[in-house]
Structures are given as structure tokens and as C-alpha cells.
Structure 1
Amino acid sequence: MVLLLSACTATAVTPTPTASSPFAGCSFTGGSGPAPDLPALTLPCFTGGAEVRTGDLRGPAVINLWSSSCDPCRDELPVMQALADATTGRLQVLGVDTFDSRDAAASFATDFGVTFPTLYDRDRKLLLGLGKTALPVTVFLDADGKRFVYTGTALDKPTLGTLVRTHTGVTVTG
């Protein structure tokens, strides 16, 4: 009888994601600059699940859309991590895990040492909102919120450095 009563008074527990997150939290939102030229979406931060509105993001920034099933992403993500490490405090580097399971994304990021803040977009809302269908996609935002979208092959370090300087005004050293 006691067991039966305790089962009736138990509180519901919200399920948490099964994968632990290798990514930093998303504490970069907000800012005083102009709103970015991005589709108006709200996506959860991979770490912690806080909702992030794309309209709250500010440049200069690099936003990399990737998936664990994307072969070019395997080459590009470590380059993005190196960019995040080299530009701390001068450039926001944000990942968007796209069309993926949380477990696959966390495992992939752990294997490749990726720790920069990442949003979770299982339904490809940002990818489709940018008018794209294939990964990887990298969005460069300048301080005025103007965007440049790069698609195609995986970015290598020299090409990424040039695109960052050209489209965000930030010079990458190292």
C-alpha cells in the first residue's frame, strides 16, 4: 500500500539528453550592434538547452553548420576549433549541429576535440532558412550584421583566415 501511494505522489521528471556535451555553453548572445541578416529562428544550445534566438547573435562571428554524417565536416571542424582558440574575445565562433542525433554529435565532437558553443538543429531550420541543402555551410557576420555564406568544400586554415578577414574584419594570427 505504501508503494502504491508513493507511486501516485511522485513528481514528473523532465528527461535530459542522453549525451553529455563536449561543447561550451551559449553565453554569447545579445549585444548592442545591429540585428544580423539571418533567418529568424530559435534553437536550443547543445549544452544546457537554453533557447538562442538568431536575432540575438552579433558579429563579428563565424557560424558553422555541420553534422556527424558529413565527410567534409570531419576536416573542417578541427579548423573551426583552431579559429575559435586563436580569436577568443575578438570573434564569436558558433557551431550548429544540423540534422543529427545528440549522441552522434557529442561523440563526433569529442573525437575531434571540438568545444566551441554549438546550437542543436535536428530539423535543419537554419540550413533551409539560408536556402541551402548540403553541408558544410559557414556564415560570416560582420559587426554590422551583414552576412556572407560560404558553401562547397571544407575550409582549410588559410582559406578560412582569408574569409574571416574579408567578411568580419578580424585578422587571424597563428
Structure 2
Amino acid sequence: MAGGLPEVSLPCLGAGPDVRLADLRGPLVINVWAQWCPPCRDEAPYLAALQQKAGDKLRIMGIDYTDPRPELAVQFALDNKLDYPHLVDAEKQVRKPFKVGGPPVTVFVDKTGKFTLHNGALTSQEQLDQLVRERLGVQL
């Protein structure tokens, strides 16, 4: 189990206030992604379905990572019904704390702010749902 979320503030993708990651508490799933990343595109439907099922049991947030075309990222999120908040990390500020070799990375944040990581693409809805159960104790 890692410590708390990093002291990093990131701007919203599109409009909205900056978000300080260290202030966030779970149960929360943060997905580090980019529109140019094929595995990120592959796992997007699982995250959209999780958002639909989660209701108020769990929050989801995306971090668009080192993306040279933020307008394409906005379009990708809209096209894939990823209708949860997304932040922008153009400067790779989460690279070290989230051990990002490249996207995707999924971060599971518990109610105290402690987090665990899943590096690489999510391969099925069942896998994502099981990770949410095991790491956050949330039944969907």
C-alpha cells in the first residue's frame, strides 16, 4: 500500500478549477490515459461501464497524460461516454508517484487517501470490477 496522493495540482481538461490530488479521498478510481494510446482506447468501455454502475458508491477521475492534442482528448472522452472529471498532466507530474512508464495506469484510492496501482491496460469488465472490490471494498 502506498502513502497518500501526491502534492500535485492539475488543471481540468476543458473547463473547471484545478484539482489538488492530495485533497482527494476515495473510494476513487483514477485512470491515467491519453487519446493517442491504443490500450487506453481498448479499456475505455470498462471505465464508462464502471461509471454507470457505480452511482454514488465510487467516484472516477481521468488524467490525460502528456497529450499533445487536448482537443482530441476531449473528443475521445465524449465519444466514449467517459463523463467523469478529467485532469491534464502535460508535465508528467504524476509519473513518479504513480510509477507511470506509459499510460494506462489505474489508481485505486481508499477513503483515507492511500492508493494502490494497476499498471497496464484493464483487460475486461470483470477484472476492473474485481479490482474495485478487492482494493476499495466496493460491491457493484
The answer, yes or no, to whether TM exceeds 0.5 is yes
Counterpart secondary structure, 2:72: helix
Q: Does the alignment pair 1:157 with 2:112? A: no
The share of aligned pairs that are identical, in percent, is: 38
Q: Is the 8 A contact 1:59 1:141 kept in 2?
A: yes
| Structure 1 match to 2:44 | 77
Q: Does the alignment pair 1:136 with 2:104? A: yes
How many residue pairs end up in the alignment?
137
| Structure 2 match to 1:88 | 55
Q: Is the 8 A contact 1:65 1:127 kept in 2?
A: no
One-letter amino acid matched to 2:59: Q
| Structure 2 match to 1:148 | 116
Q: Is the 8 A contact 1:79 1:157 kept in 2?
A: yes
Identify which of structures 1 and 2 has the higher relative contact order when contacts are C-alpha pairs closer than 8 Å and 6+ apart: 2
Q: TM-score, normalised by structure 1?
A: 0.73
| Structure 1 match to 2:66 | 99
Q: Which runs of 5+ in 2 are unaligned?
A: none
Q: Does the alignment pair 1:40 with 2:18? A: no
Q: Which runs of 5+ in 1 are unaligned?
A: 1-35
Shifted more, 77-86 versus 60-69: the winner is 77-86
One-letter amino acid matched to 1:85: Q
Counterpart secondary structure, 1:171: coil
Q: Is the 8 A contact 2:13 2:74 kept in 1?
A: no
What CA RMSD, in Å, does the superposition of the two structures yield over aligned residues? 1.5
| Structure 1 match to 2:81 | 113
User: Aligned partners of 2:123, 2:48: CA distance in 1, in Å?
Assistant: 12
Q: TM-score, normalised by structure 2?
A: 0.90
